[in-house]
Amino acid sequence: MNEDKELEVYKGKSDGMVKMVESTKVTNESESKEIADKIKNIKLLKTAIKAKMDKSIIPAKAVIEEAKSTYMPMIEKCEWAERELKKKFTDYTLAEEEKRIEKEIKIAERVERGTMKTETAIRKIEEMPEAKRTVKSEEGATISVKKVPIAVIRDTSKIPDEFWEINIPKVNKEALRRHKENLEQIPGVEIEYRVDTSIR
C-alpha cells in the first residue's frame, strides 16, 4: 500500500474511533466489557500510527543530528572568532581611552604644580583626539564599543522587602530607571558600566 493510501486509512480509522467513542454508552455489564476491547483496539491503532510516524521521524532525526555534528563545530568556531575579535577591539579601544585619561591627568598635575597655564591645559586637552568607540571599515562594516549601565547588587541585606525573592531582572529594571531619572538608588545597588561590543 502506498504512503498516501496508508495515511488515509489511519485518518479514517482515527475519525471512526472518535465517532465510536462519542456514541458509546455504558449502561450494563455487557457494554462495560466491550469497553476493554475497544480500548485494546485503540491502543493497537495508536501503536500502528506511532510506528508509521517514527518511520518518518527517525530518519529526519538522523539527518538533523548528522547536520549538527557536521556544521556545529564550524558555527562554534565562527562564534569563538567573533567573540575573540570583539574582545581584541574592546581591549584596544579601552587601552586608547586609558592613555588619553593618563595624558589628561598629567596635564592637570602640571596645572596644579604651576608648570602649565590653565588656558594651555584646556587647549591641549581639547586638541587630544577622542578614543574612537566606533570604527567603520572600507567595506562598510561597523564595530562599536559602548559602556552600558547595569545594576550591581553590592549588599543584599539592604535590598527592600519589595524586591525579595531577589528578582534580579526586576531590581535591574528599577535600578536603571532610577539611574536614568536621577532618582535615589535602591539601597544595596550601584550602577556600574560594563563594556558592550556590537557589530552590524
Is 146 inside a domain boundary? yes
Is 114 inside a domain boundary? no
Counting the structural domains of the chain, the total is 2
- pTM, full prediction: 0.51
Range of the domain at 13: 3-80
Is 109 inside a domain boundary? no
pLDDT, one tens digit for every residue, the chain (200 residues): 677 788 888 899 899 889 988 888 888 777 777 887 888 888 889 988 998 888 888 888 888 999 999 999 999 998 999 899 888 888 888 888 888 889 889 989 998 999 989 999 888 888 888 777 788 888 888 888 887 888 999 998 998 888 878 888 999 999 999 999 999 999 999 999 888 765 55
Is 169 inside a domain boundary? yes
The residue among 130, 125, 88 whose CA lies nearest residue 109 is 125
Contact 158, 187 (CB under 8 A): yes
Copy the grid coordinates of residue 192. 556600574
- How many C-beta atoms surround the C-beta of residue 172 within 10 A? 17
Q: Are residues 12 and 75 in the same domain?
A: yes
